[in-house]
Structure 1
Amino acid sequence: MMLSDVMEDYLKAIYQLQRETDERIKTSAIAEELDVTSPTVTSMLDKLEERGFVDREKYRGVTLTDEGETVALEVVRHHRLLEAYLTEHLDYDWAEVHEEADRLEHHISEDFEARVADALGQPTVDPHGSPIPSADLEPPERPDGKSVTEFEEGDVVVVEEVADRDADVLSYLADHGVEPGVELEIVEVAPFGMITARSSEHDESVSLPDAVAHHVRVARGAEVEQ
């Protein structure tokens, strides 16, 4: 029996949350990720547990079973390949592609997926720097990058990944040259939750409020010459 689009969305959400922590995923975290109520999540988890896609422990949350992870990886692969294809071949802005890929990811065939991957040259990351699971659905390694909020003034970092869930944040970052592969120098870390960085792409400073900065994962770069 096939899974519904909503079931696949839940498995994908749990997978993405698991990539950010080593702990079980709480109902409240899933509700926030999918913008639904906790009772709605509980009801869906009942169905997913019954079908063997999640492992639940009372009061501790859930993890994906091997079968659940395989389904999630396939949906994630579809989603990120579609984002790359829409960006590279259909001139979509990287801030637009997430919602479009969300609509399409459940409905493409394996043949279509393979053709898209070939047309793109078998990419390993999507336009936002997120790893694309391989065709054999092996989980990609968890990136080493950290939130840019974890660095200090004077640090030089390279953007590895930008969360794709907020189009307004993506547009803001793109307008200021904060994209995967771009080097940033942390100029100032204000005590009230504001980071000022200089982008090598635009050679100008950009202000990153906490709500924006938490979307940006980076790795340490070369030291700036004084």
Structure 2
Amino acid sequence: MASPAVDDYLKTIYHHTEWQPDRITPSQLALELGLAPSSVTEMVQKLAAQGLVTHRPYGPVSLTEAGELRAAAVIRRHRLIETWLVREFDYTWDEVHDEAEVLEHTVSDRLLDGIDARLGHPSFDPHGDAIPDAAGHVNREPFVALGDAVPGHRGRVLRISDRDPALLRLLDDAGLRPGTRVEVRDASTLVLDGAPLDLPDGAARAVWLSA
């Protein structure tokens, strides 16, 4: 049954393991969603009863195949809408997340297919996150978080988290976007176009590079 609340849970669980391997715990899920742990526990039990997640008491939560397909569909809607707003309506990449949160629950499948076709079937959103195709498949190359990259590592910026709009604006002003080629000097300094770039606080946890 269609439910924005269910979709938000599935989307959050899906997103948690996109760029790191650890499964999400109920307490982390409660923190991400801004809800009371008791409410999250109750909803996780309902999702498990619907065959959308697997969960054991006090353990992490995982999507089932059905849950992953549904989550990928919601993620696809969100990221296509973000890409559409940036390309067609001159939104900046730090402005689109909240708009997409609203529109993902209201845009029809027909309109979404039209948006996808108009954009040329993009594989990535403005932040570098993969856009699942209609079957839920994604293409994602090997990656390393900036905070885990060794000095001297060279690669392209694959993804910048959209969690902090202020950080996105700072990195954009510095010329750092998905596709930018950099060399790692340390977790707080990159070499960009031959010149050192001192990164703002939080960047090491928000930037992913090609491995």
TM-score above 0.5: yes
Report whether the alignment pairs 1:12 with 2:5. no
Cα distance in 2 for residues equivalent to 1:216 and 1:109: 33
Matched residues in 1 for 2:110 and 2:195: separation?
A: 43
- Match for residue 96 of structure 2? 97
The amino acid across from 2:159 in the alignment is: E
How far apart are residue 23 of structure 1 and its match? 4.3
Name which of structure 1's ranges 122-131 and 21-30 shifts more when overlaid on structure 2: 21-30
Asked if residue 213 in structure 1 is aligned to residue 193 in structure 2, the reply is no
Corresponding residue for residue 169 of structure 1 = 167
C-alpha RMSD over aligned residues: 1.9
Note if contact 1:24-1:60 (Cα within 8 Å) is conserved in structure 2. no
1:195 paired with 2:193, answer: no
The total of aligned residue pairs comes to: 211
Which residue number corresponds to residue 60 of structure 2? 61
Query: In the alignment, is the contact (CA less than 8 A) between 2:189 and 2:196 conserved in 1?
Result: no
CA–CA separation in structure 1 for the residues paired with 2:150 and 2:22: 27
User: Is residue 197–residue 208 contact of structure 1 (8 Å, CA) maintained in 2?
Assistant: no
Match of 1:179 among 177, 180, 202: 177
SS in structure 1 at match of 2:93: coil
User: C-alpha separation between the residues in 1 aligned to 2:167 and 2:33?
Assistant: 18
Runs of 4+ in 1 over 6 A off after TM superposition: none
Specify the SS of the correspondent of 1:78. helix
What pairs with 1:107-146 in structure 2 (closer than 5 Å)?
Answer: 107-138=106-137, 140-146=138-144
Asked if 1 retains the 8 angstrom alpha-carbon contact of 2:26 and 2:40, the reply is yes
Q: Taking every aligned residue pair, what percent have the same amino acid on both sides? A: 35
Taking structure 1 as reference, are residues 143 and 30 closer, same or farther at Cα in structure 2, changes over 3 Å only? farther
SS in 2 for 1:8: helix
Aligned amino acid, residue 163 of structure 2:
R
In the TM superposition, residue 96 of structure 1 has moved relative to its aligned partner by 0.4
Q: Which amino acid aligns with 2:188?
A: I
User: Which runs of structure 2 are paired with 1:80-91 in the superposition (5 Å)?
Assistant: 80-91=79-90
On the 8 A contact 1:18/1:63 being kept in 2, the answer is no
1:66 deviates by: 1.5
Whether 1:154 and 2:152 are equivalent positions in the alignment is: yes
Cα distance between partner residues in 1 of 2:135 and 2:109:
12
Return closer, same or farther for 1:207/1:21 CA change in 2, 3 Å cut-off.
closer
Q: What is the CA distance between 1:196 and its match in structure 2?
A: 1.3
C-alpha deviations, 1:97-143, integer Å up to 9, x for none? 111111111111111111000110010111111110001223x2454
Report deviation, 1:184. 1.6
Alpha-carbon distance between aligned partners in 1 of 2:209 and 2:20, rounded to the nearest angstrom: 17
Cα deviation 1:33-88 (Å, max 9, x = unaligned):
22323222112112212222111112222111121111101100000100100000
Unaligned runs of 5+ in 1: 221-226
Letter aligned with residue 76 of structure 2 = R
